[in-house]
Amino acid sequence: MTSAGSTPVFDAAALRARAETLLQLHHREEPVVLPTAWDVWSARLIADAGFGALTVGSHPLADSLGAADGEDMTLDQALEAIARITAAVEIPVSADLESGYDTDPAELVEKALAAGVVGINIEDTVHSRGQMRGGQEHADYIAGIRRAADAAGVHLVINGRTDVYKHADDFADPLAETLHRLSLLEQAGADSLYPVGLPSEQELSTILEQVSTPLNVTAHPERGAIPEGLTLPRLAELGVSRISFGPLLQMALSEQAAQLLGGWNEQ
């Protein structure tokens, strides 16, 4: 990595190396835990704790910038903050870029790589529309990201997310719809799959039986994984490959900070 003024510049070889490291972490016997950062301080905290990679979450990042989650900040604002994180740590960084900010896949990949990102999380809830993409439409968008990354010579690690369970009332059979969308994402070239909001261990197990691509679940750092507060050993036993915290690490730290500060409030 070099620097042009205050803007970090990542060479292709460094990006390829970080991307390959991130990809390999998804194919171990035990799950890779990717704590979620939102600024340089939190990213360094995670790296110093010995984690091999991290994610940048859209929700905590938006909070740190005084914006709302759901693409209230612009893509350039998000990537400017993310670039400071990728420049500050030596471990691979995956970034949650929501639904892609209505950006063409080639442009999105170009900007993400320029910011030092080697993994990308893309969901199927399009915030500018206030609705989800269709399953094939989302898969086509993911396939476009894969093609653009391949053309750039960097294996950007794509985490394909679906929000079916967040909108379960809109589907007659949320599990069937989730499996359909995950299958399309596998065919589109996603490196990991992220069905958020799973309601039970049984549905998680069913999905794990049906997919061959590494699966991502959300966890609270103190209370365990969602669903049902599953422990790290249990997630490994089930076959989960990737664990991230979303906004929950920031929320847990906020709760602890409130307790620390409470005794100093004289009002």
d(CA 198, CA 185): 17
Structure tokens at 212: 């061959």
- Range in 9-13, 85-89, 92-96, 162-166 the model is least confident about: 9-13
d(CA 224, CA 245): 10
Is residue 95 over pLDDT 80? yes
pLDDT at 6: 46
pLDDT mean over 252-264: 91
Average pLDDT, the chain: 95
Structure tokens at 109: 């990949």
Amino acid (1-letter code) at residue 78: A
Residues 6+ apart with CB under 8 A from 62: 68, 69, 72, 73
Is residue 1 over pLDDT 90? no
pLDDT mean over 75-102: 98
Confidence of residue 7 (pLDDT cuts 50, 70, 90): low
d(CA 251, CA 254): 5
Q: Where are the beta strands (DSSP E) in the chain?
A: 2-4, 7-9, 32-34, 36-37, 54-56, 93-96, 119-122, 125-126, 131-132, 157-162, 192-195, 216-220, 224-226, 242-244
pLDDT at 115: 98
Q: Give CB contacts under 8 A, 24+ apart, made by 164-171.
A: 164/132, 164/195, 165/195, 165/196, 165/197, 165/198, 165/199, 166/125, 166/196, 166/197, 167/125, 167/132, 168/197, 168/199, 170/132
Residues 121/145, Cβ–Cβ less than 8 Å? no
pLDDT digits (tens, 9 = 90+) for 142-168: 999 999 999 999 999 999 999 999 999
pLDDT digits (tens, 9 = 90+) for 224-233: 999 888 999 9
d(CA 175, CA 154): 33
- Each domain of the chain, given as residue ranges in start order, spans 2-259
pLDDT digits (tens, 9 = 90+) for 179-222: 999 999 999 999 999 999 999 999 999 999 999 999 999 999 99
pLDDT digits (tens, 9 = 90+) for 57-86: 999 999 999 999 999 999 999 999 999 999
Provide CATH code, domain 2-259.
3.20.20.60
